[in-house]
Amino acid sequence: MKHHLILRVVTKMLIPSILLFALYVQFHGDFGPGGGFQAGVIFAAAFILYAIVFGLETARRVMPTWLLQSLIATGLILYAGVGFVGMFLGGNYLNYTVLTGHAHSGQHIGLLLIELGVGITVSTVMIAIYFSFASRTPRMGDEDW
Partner 1 sequence: MLLTFLGMTAFAIIHTHHLFAVVMMSGVFSLLSAGLLVMLDAVDVAFTEAAVGAGISTVLMLGTLTLTARREKVSKRANWVPLIVVCVTGAALIYGTLDMPLFGDPNAPSMTHVMPEYIEGTEHIFQIPNVVTAVLGSYRGYDTLGETAVVFTAGIGVILLLGAVGGRKRDARDENESGEGS
Partner 2 sequence: MEFILGHYNYWVVIFLMMAGLYVVVARGNLVKKIVGLNIFQVSVFLLYISMGKVAGGTAPILVDEPVVYSNPLPHVLILTAIVVGVATTALGLALVVRIRESYGTIEEDEIQVANAADDLLEENRP
* Interface positions with partner 1 (CB under 8 A): 25, 29-35, 37-38, 41-42, 44-45, 48, 65, 68-69, 72-73, 75-76, 79-80, 83, 94, 96, 103-104, 107-108, 110-111, 114-115, 117-118, 121-122, 124-126, 128-139, 144-145
Residue 51, helix vs strand vs coil: helix
Q: Which is nearer to partner 2, 87 or 111 (CB)?
A: 111
132 binds partner 2 (CB under 8 A): yes
Q: Which is nearer to partner 2, 52 or 87 (CB)?
A: 52
Question: Which residue of 139, 141, 142, 143 would you call a contact of partner 2, by CB under 8 A?
Answer: 139
Please, are residues 15 and 52 in contact by the beta-carbon 8 Å criterion? no
Q: Which residues of 30-67 are buried (b: 16+ CB within 10 A; e: fewer)?
A: eeeebbbbbbbebbbbbbbbbbebbeeeebeeebeeee
Q: For residues 48, 51, 56 and 62, what is the CA-based torsion angle, rounded to 10 degrees?
A: -90
Residues near partner 2 (CB under 8 A) are: 32-33, 37, 122, 129, 132-133, 136, 139
